[in-house]
Amino acid sequence: MLFSLTGLARTTYTLTDLEVLVGEENTKEFFEHALDVRPSERQEAWKTMVSRMGDVYSRKILEKSEIETKDFRDTENLYNMSALKMDDVFKRRRSEIGLRYLKNCLKAEAPCWNDLKAFWEKDKTDADTAFKLAELTSGMQDSPLSSWSLLDVALKSPLSEFYCKKEFVMSALWGKIEIDYIKLGPEGDLMTKIDHTIHSDCVPVLIGEARKRLYQPPKVLDRELAYQILKSQMKADQEVTDFFFTVYLLDNPSQGELFNYSWNRVKELGGTVGRREKVLRTLKKLDPLPDAILGSLDQTKKRVVLNHFKTYFPEYLDHYTDQCVKFYGGQGTFPTGNPTVHCQDFMTGELAPKIIDEFKIKQYQSVRKI
């Protein structure tokens, strides 16, 4: 039988009766009658007894090798008492009891989704519980709780620095910021949005992830988002900005604000050899080399962009075609395969003679005959 906290027991107990039960550590009978005491009499003595018996009860439950459904639901029933909800020890143990129970019952053939949902909805304030529930349900497609509904609480706490380092947490956070960025657009206030989403202690971890994805993005949009995150946090210096806009133009972007920024940035680089050299050093580390523009079906855009690079950043086209010739000529080491994905189509197309030196084209044709 679950604890009755309605105060409607057949026999009404007094504070003196409850004191006897405390001495006996009879938690079942104590909590069945704890609310017999009139609200006006639930002062310090009563609260102390409730706290002590909550400690005894929760300790005994946690000593069990397995938390049963009855244990979980009795604990949740007790947590309805305001005195226990405000008790830090019971609050922490209630969380531990719930998490241990849910960890097992969610593995069952019929997972305890209702218990999971009710457990979280009863108290959505504890960051560590939120994180552990998110971790527990990560990858569970049928969960009634979204990962972000839990992580939203966890990542606003001072402990977020540690949570953010978890791969599944960063994946969810990145997805959330990506949605926000798409809604805001390049000129939106991403800094404020990030400030409202995570605790400041998580920001350095996010910046580290952005730096990583700027150079090794799992998908094209990740590079753009990474740059915008760095920019919003005042971490996008001239070298980072030069790199991003150069690659952005090579990635066959749609025309728009960022396209225009990229176009102008590459033109600006045309007048500064030192800045181009820094960008080229970074580009050379990428594998594969950015070349989506070479595979564009929009022939006009491809021609215009490549002519732009021929005029203002010819060193990149030289390096790209050198790598292409070396790969097909069996020169050098390419552990991940062809670093110039669209080179073959480009070098055999009508546009190449207008962009690349005739000598380079002959080199390519020579190695392809071997």
Read off the amino acid at residue 135: E
Residues 186-210 have a mean pLDDT of 96
Digit-coded pLDDT (tens) for 96-136: 999 999 999 999 999 999 999 999 999 999 999 999 999 99
pLDDT computed for residue 178 by the predictor? 97
What band does 370 get if pLDDT is binned at 50, 70 and 90?
A: low
Digit-coded pLDDT (tens) for 270-317: 999 999 999 999 999 999 999 999 999 999 999 999 999 999 999 999
Q: What is the rounded average pLDDT for all residues in the chain?
A: 95
Helix (H) or strand (E) holding 320: helix 314-328
What band does 9 get if pLDDT is binned at 50, 70 and 90?
A: very low
Q: Is the pLDDT of residue 7 over 60?
A: no
The upper half-sphere exposure of residue 362, i.e. CA atoms within 13 Å in the direction of its Cβ, equals 3
Decide: 134 and 150 in contact? Cβ < 8 Å.
yes
Q: What is this structure's pTM?
A: 0.90
Instruction: Kindly report the backbone phi and psi dihedral angles of residue 253, in degrees, each rounded to the nearest multiple of 5, phi listed first.
Output: -75, 160
In the three-class reduction of DSSP (H, G, I as helix; E, B as strand; rest coil), residue 354 is classed as helix
Distant-in-sequence, close-in-space partners of 369: CB < 8 Å, separation ≥ 6: none
Domain boundaries in the chain? 1-123, 237-370
Token pair of 185 as six digits:
């657009």
What band does 369 get if pLDDT is binned at 50, 70 and 90?
A: confident
Decide: 35 and 7 in contact? Cβ < 8 Å.
yes
In the three-class reduction of DSSP (H, G, I as helix; E, B as strand; rest coil), residue 169 is classed as helix
Decide: 114 and 108 in contact? Cβ < 8 Å.
no
pLDDT computed for residue 4 by the predictor? 57
pLDDT computed for residue 220 by the predictor? 84
Eight-state DSSP code of residue 36 = G
The Cα 181–Cα 254 span in angstroms is 17
Distant-in-sequence, close-in-space partners of 1: CB < 8 Å, separation ≥ 6: none
Read off the amino acid at residue 202: C
The Cα 164–Cα 131 span in angstroms is 10
